[in-house]
Amino acid sequence: MQETMVMRDRLIDEFAENYMEKLFYFCLKKTGNQIEAEDLTQDIALQILTALNKGTIPTSFSAWIWQIARNRYSVWAKSKHSRNESVTGSDIGDYAIEDENENILDGMIHTEQMALLRRELAFIKSDYRNIVVAYYIENKSIRDIASLLSLSETAVKQRLHRARQILKEGMNMAREFGKLSYNPENISFWVNGLHGENGEPRIYISRALSKNIMLAAYRTPATAEELAMEVGVALPYMEEELSTLVDATLMKKNGNKYETNIFIVSAEAQEKICAHVRSIAPELTKAIIDAVEFNTEWSNQNSPDWHEGYQSYEDMKWALLMSETDNVNFDTLRPFNKNVKDVSNIGPWGHTLRPNGGEWDLLGMEIHHGDEPKHVGLSGCVSCPNEKDLPEIMFRQFRFKYSGLENRTPSVLTYADGQAMVAVADGKSAEVDGAILKRLESYGYIKKADDGYVPTIMVMRKAKSIKMPKEIKERFESLRRKATEIATQHYLFCREQIYKEIPEFLKEDEFQIAHACVNIFCMRGAVLEEAIRQGYLTFDKDNDKQMLGAYLVI
For 18-40, how does the pLDDT look when each residue is reduced to its tens digit (9 = 90+)? Answer: 788 788 878 888 887 878 888 88
Q: Does the domain made of 123-171 have the CATH classification 3.40.50.150?
A: no
Phi, psi (deg, nearest 5) at residue 445: -80, -25
Indicate if the alpha-carbon torsion angle 7, 10, 16, 20 is positive or negative: negative
pLDDT value, residue 399: 94
Distance CA 329, CA 335 (A): 11
351-382 pLDDT, tens digit each: 889 999 899 999 999 988 778 899 898 888 87
What percent of the chain stands above pLDDT 90?
Answer: 40
Distance CA 37, CA 22 (A): 12
pLDDT value, residue 342: 59
Distance CA 481, CA 488 (A): 10
Average pLDDT for the chain: 84
Residue type, 10: R
- Span 2-112: which CATH code? 1.10.1740
Would the CATH topology of 123-171 be identical to that of 179-261? yes
pLDDT value, residue 354: 92
Distance CA 545, CA 311 (A): 12
Report DSSP state, residue 430: G
Q: What is the DSSP string of 219-262?
A: HS-B-HHHHHHHHT--HHHHHHHHHHHHHTTSEEEETTEEEESS
pLDDT value, residue 391: 83
pLDDT value, residue 93: 37
Distance CA 51, CA 65 (A): 11
- Which carries the bigger pLDDT value, residue 319 or residue 176? 319
Distance CA 20, CA 33 (A): 17
Whether the upstream peptide bond of residue 236 has omega within 30° of 0, thus cis, is no
DSSP element (H, E) containing 378: strand 376-380
Q: Does the domain made of 179-261 have the CATH classification 1.20.1250.20?
A: no
Confidence of residue 7 (pLDDT cuts 50, 70, 90): confident
Distance CA 398, CA 323 (A): 9
Query: Does this model's pTM top 0.85?
Result: no
CA distances (Å), origin 488, targets 395, 428, 474: 29, 45, 20
471-530 pLDDT, tens digit each: 999 999 999 999 999 999 999 999 899 888 888 888 888 888 888 888 887 789 999 999
State whether residue 449 is helix, strand or coil. Answer: strand
Structural domain boundaries of the chain?
A: 2-112, 123-171, 179-261, 267-553
Distance CA 491, CA 139 (A): 64
State whether residue 448 is helix, strand or coil. Answer: strand
* Residues 10 and 53: beta-carbon distance below 8 Å: no
Distance CA 157, CA 177 (A): 31
pLDDT value, residue 448: 93
* Residues 286 and 326: beta-carbon distance below 8 Å: no
CA distances (Å), origin 529, targets 236, 377, 524: 49, 14, 9
